[in-house]
Chain A
Amino acid sequence: MVGEHRMSSAMTVLATKSTTVRFGGLVAVKDLDLAVQAGQVLGLIGPNGAGKTTIFNVLTGVYRPTSGDVELEGKSIVGLPPHEIARRGVARTFQNIRLFGELSALENVMTACHLRSRAGLLATMLRTARHRAEEKEQRDLALALLERFDLAAHRHAPAKSLSYGNQRRLEIARALAMRPKVLLLDEPAAGLNPQESLVLMRQIQQLRDDFKLTIVLVEHNMRVVMGACERIHVVEQGQTIAVGSPDDIQRNPRVITAYLGNL
C-alpha cells in the first residue's frame, strides 16, 4: 500500500497532510493524511460524528485547520477564503441542501457559471456585446446541465418548490457549472429512496468520466459507497482507521468494530 501511494503521488489532486482541527478542547480531526488521486472516486466514511463533514469544511476553506496542510495540485490552500478555493476548482454539495430557494432552477445553475464571466460592472450597466454574449453562454451551459440531470422541465420553478430528489440533483448540477476539478459530495444519497440512490450510484462514475472529475464522497448508504467508490478512506473520531479498496474495507476488522462495536 505504501508503494502504491508513492507511485501515484505525482497525480494527487487534493491532499491533507497531518491536518488537525480543534474546536476548543474537542479534536474533530486528528493528523489526517488524505490523498485523492486524479480521476478517482474516493469514499470518505465513518460513523456519525467521525469528522467527515469537518474534513469537507477544511478542504473547502470553511474551517482553517489548527495545524497541518491542505494541498490542491501540490499548492497549499490553507487560509484561502472559500470562494478562492472554489475558483481553483473545488466544488461541493451540502449535507443539508443549500440551494438558492427563491431563484429558479435555471438561475441556481447560472449563478455558478459566473466564474468565467469577464464583463465588469460597467459592461453590465452598458449591456455591451461582450456582456450579452456571456449571459447567453451562461444560460446555454446551465440549460445543458439541467438537461443532463433531467431538470429541464423544472427550469423556471423556484428551487425550494422542487422535490427532494430533484433538489439534490440540482445542487450537483450547480456544482458542475463551476467546471470544477474536484467535486465533494456530502451525503448525496441522504433522503433518496432505494431506486433513486441506485440511479445516483451509477451516475457518480458516469459524471467522473464525462466531466473529467475527481470525486470525494461522504455517504452512509453502503450500497452507494461500495458501488461507486474505487477507494475508501475510513475515519473514526477524527482519525484514519483504514484506507483501501471496497473489498478490503468490507473485510477490515477495525472498520467492522467501528461500525458495529465489538461483536
Chain B
Amino acid sequence: MNIWKPHLGGRSWLGGIAVVAGFFLLNEAFVHGVFGYGLSAYYLRVITLVGISMVLAVSLTLVNGCAGQFSIGHAGFMAVGAYASAAVTHFGGAPFIALLEILPAWPVHTLRLWVSLAVGAAVGGVAGWLVGLPTLRLRGDYLAIVTLGFGEIIRVVLLNIEPTGGALGFTNIAQGPEVPGRSPDQRFALFLEETMFFWVALVATGTILVVGRLAYSSFGRSLAAIRENEIAAAAIGIDTTRAKTTAFVVSAALTGVAGGLYAHYDNYLNPSSFTFLRSVEIVTMIVLGGLGSLSGAIVGAGVLTILPEALRDLTRLFPPSVTAAAPFLASLPDYRMVLYALLLVGLMIARPQGLYGRREWPWLARLFLTRDGEKGVG
C-alpha cells in the first residue's frame, strides 16, 4: 500500500557531500588498498560492471516500468552513447592535453571525462527522441518491434564505420589516434583505470536520484496514468505522446551515459557488445527486480551481473569429499549458463511480480517521499 507522499522537505547538501566523499574513500580503498581493503582486478571489475548495469536498469525503469512502454532496444542507445563519448575522448583529446601543461592533472581529466559523458548523454537523448517521436504514438507491441529494429540498425552501422574501428572494435579510446613515431599519451587512460569505480558509483547514484525524483512526482504520476489507462490519461488532459517521448528521451540519455562509462572503463568498444541480447538482459533485470520498482532495478542489475560470475565458482560450494565421490560436479561450471537460465525461470515462477513488485526499500522511498501521517487504509 502506498502510504508515502511526495517529499516536500529541503534538500540536503551535506548528504550529497558525504556520499561523494564516501565513494572517493571506497575508490581509494578498492583500487589502492588504502585501508587494507584492496580488491583484486576481477572483483573490482564485477562491482564496476554492476554499477553500469544499475544505470542501465534504472533508466529503463522510467520507460518500461513507470510508463509501461516496452522498449527492447536500449542496447542501441547504449551503443550510440558509448561510441559518441568514446569518439569525443579519442579524437578530441588535444585541448585537454594542452591544458595539462598549465593545470593540475585531475581537474583536466575529470573535465575531459564529463565532456565525453555529456556528449554520450546528448547523442543518446537525440537518438531516443528520433526513435520515440514517431513510434510512441503507436501502442504497445509496435514500440517493442521498432526499438528492436533500431538496436540492430545501430549495431550494423557501427560495424561499418571505419574511424571507430568497425568490426575490429574501437581500441585505445583514451590514448587517442596513433601518431607514427610518437608513443601514445597514457595519462588519461591511467586516470580512468584508477577512478572509474568512483565515477560509476557517482553516476549510478545520480541516475537513481534523477529517475526516482521523476517517477515520484507529478510527471511520474502522468506516466503511471498512461500505463494504467491511456484513454483516461488523455481524457484528464495528459499529453500522452509528449509524456512518453519525454520519458523515452531521459531514459535514452541516461543509457547513453552508461554506454559512455562502459567505453571509458574498458577503453575498448566492439559492436558485438550491443546485440539484441544486451537489450534483453536489461529488460530481464527490471522484470526480475519488479517492473516499476527502483529497488528492484538495482537488485536485478546486481543479481544478473553477479550470478553468471558467481556460478563459475560452483564446484567450490561442495566439500572435497563430495567432489571426489561425484567427479561430474567438477564440470558444473561448464553448465553455468544453463543453471543461470534455470535460476531465472525458477525465480519468475516463484515470484512472477518480480523480487520487489512495485515496492521500494523504505530508506530509498524516503529519498523521494515522506511518510504520510497515518497508516494506509484498505
Contact = CB atoms under 8 A, between A and B. Distances in A.
B157 interface: no
Given A121-B214, A127-B7, A111 B235 contact: no
Interface in B1-15: 1-3, 5-8, 11
B368 to A, nearest CB: 9
A111 B236 CA distance: 8
Given A107-B2, A121-B246, A127-B7, A156 B236 contact: no
Given A103-B225, A107-B221, A178-B236, A157 B6 contact: no
Given A83-B240, A100-B232, A156-B3, A132 B210 contact: no
Interface string B152-171: 00000000000000000000
Nearest to B240: A83
Interface string B9-44: 001000000000000000000000000000000000
Contacts of B231: 62, 82, 94, 98
Interface string A211-226: 0000000000000000
Interface residues of B, number: 38
B239 interface: yes
B238 A111 contact: yes
A101 interface: yes
Given A139-B6, A156-B3, A107 B236 contact: no
B213 A175 contact: no
A115 B214 contact: no
Contacts of B321: none
Interface in A141-196: 153-158, 161-162, 174-175, 177-178
Contact of A124 (B218, B224, B234): B218
Contacts of A127: 7, 11, 213
A139 B232 CA distance: 20
* Interface bin, chain A: 35 or more
A125 interface: yes
Interface in A17-76: 60, 62
Contacts of A162: 378
Interface of A: 60, 62, 81-84, 86-87, 91-92, 94, 98-104, 107, 110-115, 117, 119, 121, 124-125, 127, 131-132, 134-136, 138-139, 153-158, 161-162, 174-175, 177-178
Cβ-closest 6 pairs across A and B: A157-B378, A156-B376, A100-B228, A86-B237, A98-B232, A82-B234
